[in-house]
Amino acid sequence: MYKIITSDMDETLLNDNKTITPKTIDAIKKASDAGVHFVPNTGRGFRSIQHNLIDLGLSQKPNEYVISNNGAVIVENKENQILQVNPLPFDVVEQIFEIGMQENVCVHVYTVDDLYIWNLNDDEKDYLTGRVKDWHIIRGTDIKFLQDTPITKIIFNIDEEARRISVQDYVHEHVKFALNVSFSSARYIEFNDPSADKGQATMALAERLGIKPSEVIAVGDNNNDLPMIKAAGLGISVANGQDYLQSEADYVTQADNNNDPMVEIINKFIFNEK
């Protein structure tokens, strides 16, 4: 039997209205009651999904968890206890940040608890609203105020895929560090420490719980979900997942993120319903 379901949030668990439907909430609660750990696995900070945990009945529960910041942070829900942090070296963050400033893009810098944003534009503000709150807008081009705070990831908001790829190549050329680089939500290029991705974090949590990789289901839609899709015993892409993710997945749902794919997954693979 599968003992963990770990799921991406945006464009996977959340519909386009940025909510989890009552039907999906009921299915997740049913799986939880059957002893399955439901672990949100998000690129965002864990504080941004606390309202979702309340909806799912997982808020402040012991022995229930969130993986956040693209796998850089593992949190137990009870008292939001931080179990693992895999930060980037500050000098590497500073180099990437300077490239973002040169490119004049919207830059997000994540610590364990906070999100700092430079060059916030209206489109990005609309996307974040309802997903993230209490971010800090920073003026100017200074990041040294964070040099003594563990930074878990830095990302650029770039809508054009070709430009994301071009910036990725430029960063690889100029930053001499083995970064974990990924894309998400068809709008971000994300930079993490190589020790941090959704797959490594999922396996670290499973090991902590004494759960085998074969007993893990991972669900996602985009490039930054690929490590957990490949690491899990059952890797699943939702129907709206990127083509390359679907090609790597063991199963692709019939439902997209607007039609309760998690209900399909839980019914089929947890309760063996046709």
Model confidence pLDDT, tens digit, residues 29-75: 999 999 999 999 999 999 999 999 999 999 999 999 999 999 999 99
The length of the chain is 274
Q: What is the pLDDT of residues 158-217, one digit of tens each?
A: 999 999 999 999 999 999 999 999 999 889 999 999 999 999 999 999 999 999 999 999
pLDDT at 146 over 70: yes
Can you list the positions of beta strands (E) in the chain?
4-7, 37-40, 65-68, 73-76, 81-85, 106-111, 115-118, 136-137, 151-157, 180-184, 188-192, 216-220, 234-237, 251-252
pLDDT score at 206: 98
Mean pLDDT to the nearest integer, 229-254: 98
Helix axes 161-174, 90-103, angle to 10 degrees: 140
CATH number, domain 4-85+196-270, options 3.30.565.10, 3.40.50.1000, 3.90.420.10, 3.40.50.300: 3.40.50.1000
Q: How far is CA 256 from CA 14, 116, 128, 214, 237, in A?
A: 10, 31, 21, 25, 9
Nearest to 231 by CA among 209, 208, 207, 214: 214
Question: Which pLDDT tens digit goes with each residue over 79-95?
Answer: 999 999 999 999 999 99
Share the mean pLDDT of the chain. 97
Question: What is the residue extent of each domain of the chain?
Answer: 4-85+196-270, 90-192
Q: With pLDDT > 90 as the criterion, what percentage of the chain qualifies?
A: 96
Comparing 54-68, 121-135, 146-160, the range with the smallest average pLDDT is 121-135
State yes or no: pLDDT of 134 exceeds 90: no
Q: What is the pTM of this model?
A: 0.94
Whether pLDDT at 273 is above 90: no
Tens digit of each residue's pLDDT (9 = 90 or more) over 97-119: 999 999 999 999 999 999 999 99
Q: What is the pLDDT of residue 274?
A: 67
Average pLDDT in the 6-17 region? 97
Q: Which fold has domain 90-192?
A: 3.30.1240
For residue 86, list its beta bridge partners: none
Residue 230: predicted pLDDT? 98
